Amino acid sequence: MDYIKIRFIKDFDQIGSKFEKTIEDMFRSVHPMFTIAERRWKPQMDIYETPEEIIILAEIAGVNKEDLELEISSKAVKMSGNRSEYPRVENATYRLAEIQYGKFERILYLPAPIDPEVVSASYSNGFLQIRLAKFLLDKTHKIPVSDG
């Protein structure tokens, strides 16, 4: 059985410049091969929760499991990886080039604190699913009172 790498950390670095991303997106629409720096893309994700857990579903078709990395804290999940580009066909005129290749990174701030020790991740049919157990803060404990 292969495993997805999960690292536990306390804090995350700041997210990259939004201005740089906007400029890159603008020029990428003119020519799909244009990038300011290294090629980056942003996979689509869903986050939903039940009373017991938070579930993250990421659409990352074409990414090898070995190229995925997860970092977990009690407040956020950082997901990164790389999707290798399919070989270009020589002497072909591309009429549409929407599939994004290269590195990706997403930092997702969670709606509730989680227990970073109770995490599972699975990858199937191009979807990465991460299940995070919530800290149950509303538990009550009976405390015995002893004589003075």
Domain interval for residue 131: 43-84+101-138
Q: Is residue 94 part of a domain?
A: no
pLDDT tens-digit readout, 7-17: 666 555 444 45
- Indicate the pTM of the whole model: 0.68
Q: Is residue 131 part of a domain?
A: yes
Q: Which of 138 and 34 is assigned the larger pLDDT? A: 138
Q: Is residue 22 part of a domain?
A: no
The number of beta carbons lying within 10 Å of the beta carbon of residue 21 is 14
What CATH number should be reported for the domain holding residue 105?
A: 2.60.40.790
Q: Is residue 4 part of a domain?
A: no
pLDDT tens-digit readout, 41-66: 999 999 999 999 999 999 999 999 99
Q: What is the pLDDT of residue 21?
A: 58
Q: What is the pLDDT of residue 136?
A: 75
Say how many domains are in the chain: 1
